[in-house]
Amino acid sequence: MRLALRLNPLALIGRAFFGILSTIGRLALFMAESVTHCVRPPFFPMLVARQVIEIGYYSLPVVGLTGIFAGMVLALQSYTGFSRFAAESAIPNVVAISMTRELGPVFAGLMVAGRVGAAMAAEIGTMRVTEQIDALRTLSTNPFKYLVVPRLLAGLISLPILVLVADIVGIMGGYLVAVYKLDFNADAYINNTIDFLEPLDVGSGLVKAAVFGLLIALMGCYHGFHSKGGARGVGTATTNAVVSGAILVLIFNYIITEAFFSR
C-alpha cells in the first residue's frame, strides 16, 4: 500500500473501525464456541482444578500484597482529608466500602490480568505456533474443551475467591494503619466496619470479580489461540492479552457499578 494512502486519516479511521468490528465478531464466535463446549461432554474436571490452583492459589501473594497496601494507603489518605472536617469516624466505613466495592475487585482484576492473562496467552500461543493445538485435534481432543473451557471456568471460580481475600486483607490493612499509626480505638474501628458494611457492598464486588475472571481468561485464550508467526507472534499475543484484559476490567467495572448502584 502506498504511504500516502496508509496515512490518509479517513482510511485510518475506516480501517480501525472495521478492525474493531471484525475483532468483536471473532470474539463473539470464540465465546459462543467456548460456551457450547462448556455444556457438552467430555469434561475435564482435573484440568479445571489445575487451572484454579494456577490462577487462584498462585495469585494469592500478589493479590494479598496489593490488597493490604491499598487498604493501608486508603486509611492514611482519608485521614489526611477527613481530619480537616473532623470526620475521622467515617474512615472505617470509607475503607470497607472502597475496598469491597471498587479497589478489591479492580486491583485483583488488574493483577490477575497481568499475571494470568499473560501466562495463558503465552502458553496457548506457544502451543499454537509449535503445532501442539493441531496435534490435539489429530488426537481427537477438542482444543476448546481441553484448553479454553478449563481456563474460563477457573477464571470464573478463582477471581471471586481472590477478591474476598483482597477485601479482608485490605480492611485489615486499613485497621493496622488506623490503630497503630493514627491511634484509633481498635474495638470501635472493627464495630464501625461491621455495622456499616452491607451485603450488597461485598456482593457487587464478587459479581465484578466473576465477570473480570471470565474476561481475563477469555482474552488470554483468544489471543493465544490466534497468535501466529513464532516467538514474535506469541510476544504480541501476550501483550494484547494483558492490555485488552486490563482495559476490559476497567470498562466492565464501570458498567457493573452503574448496574448495581445508580438509581
Q: Which of 141, 207, 236, 252 binds other proteins (CB under 8 A)?
A: 141
Closest listed residue to residue 217, CA positions, set 181, 248, 186, 192: 248
* 80 contacts other proteins (rule: CB under 8 A): no
Q: Residue written as cell 469434561?
A: 43
Least distance (Å) between residue 144 CB and other proteins? 9
State the sign of the Cα–Cα–Cα–Cα dihedral 130, 149, 258, 109. negative
Contact stretch for other proteins (CB under 8 A) within 133-141, 166-174, 198-206, 234-242 = 133-141
Cis check: omega of the bond before 150, within 30 degrees of 0: no
Question: Quick one: which of 11, 20, 135, 255 contacts other proteins (CB under 8 A)?
Answer: 135
The sign one gets for the Cα dihedral 131, 132, 137, 138 is positive
For 47, the grid coordinates are 484440568
| Residues 151-190 within binding reach of other proteins (CB under 8 A) | none
First-residue to last-residue Cα distance in the chain: 51
- Would you say 88 or 235 has its CB closer to other proteins? 235
Minimum separation from the CB atom of position 27 to other proteins (A): 19
Which 32-71 positions form the footprint of other proteins (CB under 8 A)? 42
Rounded to a whole number of angstroms, the minimum distance from the CB of residue 259 to other proteins is 35
CB 218 within 8 A of CB 159: no
- Binding stretches for other proteins (CB under 8 A): 42, 123, 126-127, 130-132, 134-142, 146
